[in-house]
Structure 1
Amino acid sequence: MSEAKVYTSLQNVRTAAANQEKKTVFKHVLASPFILKWPTIHTDLGQTILDQLLKTVEPLGKYKSQCRAEKKKRKKNEPVELIEPELRQRTFIGINQVTRYLEAYIENERANPKSKTDRTPVMYICKREIKPLQLCQHLLYMSALAKIKVAPMPANAENRIGKALGIQRASVVLLEIMENKEESLRLSARDLPLVEAPWLENALTRNINYIGDTTKTLMTTVPIVKKNQQQSQKNDLKRKSEVDDSANENAKKLKQSN
């Protein structure tokens, strides 16, 4: 019987693993052809768009603060008149609101493909702060279907956008930009790339064509296990399995006798 190795500390385990002989192996992995990647933009452009967005939505935050103050004045029976910013009707905040908007937008585009509008929807997303990212992954596919541009925001933008809107944080904001109103955002949106998903568009408009497999090869290392050592490990596992089975059988007999 081979002697069991005893490690006195975690460092010894790591040292033993590092000193173990390894060999290079190649593993083949099938990659899905239906994966979309989030668009990337230059850091300076992202910061410029964020500053423009904060300046644009700032009136919405002030209006929200005024609404809170109005509630207090109503209790004192003081008349208050507030004018709602027109931009509020073209702003959609949060994953749920943006999802519902995109659903309606895609449905309307399919029903009226030749319809024209003076509004250009653009989605601003703080994907760095969204944990896990799968919470908003569907927005990427929906924006590709709707052909809506997506602007990834710089780090720590979630709290800044939320503060400008008068809320705690905002991970996703979609604005329907109008010409001669949000001109700076409209011009910046020209530099944003569209999310390309030709296979998704073809599935809706054309006959589906076969897409071949994409195979990736990963180079990695595995420890070299000698035949004697490998046989010893198998014997140890077999003995452990026999001991576990015996213990379970004894437990059943003891339970039946009681």
Structure 2
Amino acid sequence: MSEKSAKTHNHVSNRARNKSGGERKVVFKGFLDNPFRIQWPIVANNVQKAVLDTTVDLLSGIGDYRTSHNRKRTLAQQEESRKRRKQFEANADRLTVVSSETINVDNALPNTNLTTTLERPSVSKHLIVGINEVTKRLEQKVYAERVTRVTLHSCTDKSPSCSLAVILVCRSDINPPILVDHLPHLVAALNSLRPEQPVRLVPLQPGAETLLSQALGLRRAAVLGFDSDCPNLQPILKLLRNLPTLSATWLASSVPIVEKFVPTHVKQVRTSVPKDMKAEKQRRKEEKTLKKTKRRSTSNKISNRT
């Protein structure tokens, strides 16, 4: 996936000077930026498509189960509402006509045979859906790993029973993308604390959220997380065997660090400068001289009046 080399800022500073003194040209100025950076992994388009297709097949049946479950719950609510209405109408002598009409409407409820109980797919027990839920799971695992390192004993009772193995992010479908910009940092922190069980972070192609939400029977499904013991997850892991693992060695202080220094990161800022610097300096000099002359004349007038 393509990455922008520099962000574009369109706001105007309150201290900005008037730039109408002549023609200007665009230049780029470099300055040191934060070297502790975690970039999104770059995944080939064919791998993204293969992972998406495999995931949709893996999620088959969840949408039907969710629809059936919601329909059954809706019918139960309608039945409870019908009973309450009949009880209310029985106590109201003045609603006899309305009562007969209401009963006729209630008799037209959908057939409960349509809500045949479907077995819950086993994949749904090992699936996490949503930006907030995946973020919460990552934060819990990072905290548990840090507590384990400090106290030198296992804290599995405070952490989720299963660890995440794969996180799929519909990054191209999320607006604004800053909503998921924290995920690479959390994944890198967890992988640095637990390198033996890395978490794979996979950005998907545009339009992936529509397919995933349809497979899940939801309106939105921007981020999916799969546990390590999720059944039939091996085909996805096989596709991601060459995907680089995100890590942040500076976050794992108890682990021996191979690199002593973090590479310098130089950032480029797009700005503009006058094409003729000599003429611009002369113009500024003349402006300063003119301002001084005006101030002197003003002060002389005030002194003469007094």
| TM-score, normalising length: structure 2 | 0.59
Whether 1:131 aligns to 2:175 is yes
Q: Tell whether 2:47 aligns with 1:42.
A: no
Structure 1 equivalent of residue 143 of structure 2: 107
Give the SS at the match of 1:32. coil
Q: Per-residue CA shift, 1:179-201, capped at 9, x if unaligned? A: 76233223223232211322222
Q: What is the CA distance between 1:161 and its match in structure 2?
A: 1.1
Residues 36/187 of structure 1: CA separation in 2 closer, same or farther (3 Å cut): same
In structure 2, distance between residues paired with 1:135 and 1:60: 26
Q: Structure 1 residues 149 and 229 mapped into 2: Cα distance closer, same or farther (>3 Å)?
A: same
Q: Which amino acid counterpart does residue 83 of structure 1 have in structure 2?
A: E
CA contact (8 A) 2:165 2:225 kept: yes
Q: CA deviation at 1:50?
A: 0.5
For structure 2, the 5+ residue unaligned runs are: 1-19, 81-111, 192-198, 296-306
Query: Do the aligned partners of 1:177 and 1:186 also contact (CA within 8 Å) in 2?
Result: no
1:200 matches 2:241: no
* Paired letter, 1:195: L
Q: CA RMSD in A?
A: 3.7
Is 2:178 the partner of 1:157? no
In the TM superposition, 1:39-188 aligns within 5 A as: 39-74=41-76, 75-76=78-79, 78=112, 81-110=117-146, 111=148, 121-147=165-191, 148-178=199-229, 181-188=232-239
Distance 2:231 2:220 in 1: 28
Q: CA deviation at 1:76?
A: 4.7
Query: What is the alpha-carbon distance in structure 2 between the residues aligned to residue 43 and residue 179 of structure 1?
Result: 25
Q: Which runs of 5+ in 1 are unaligned?
A: 1-16, 243-258
Higher strand share: 1
The C-alpha deviation readout for 1:68-104, integer Å capped at 9, x for no partner, is 2212443458585443222222111111100111122
Q: Partner letter of residue 143 of structure 1?
A: V
Which structure has the greater CA radius of gyration?
2
CA distance in 2, matches of 1:179, 1:97: 17
- Aligned partner letter, 1:61: G
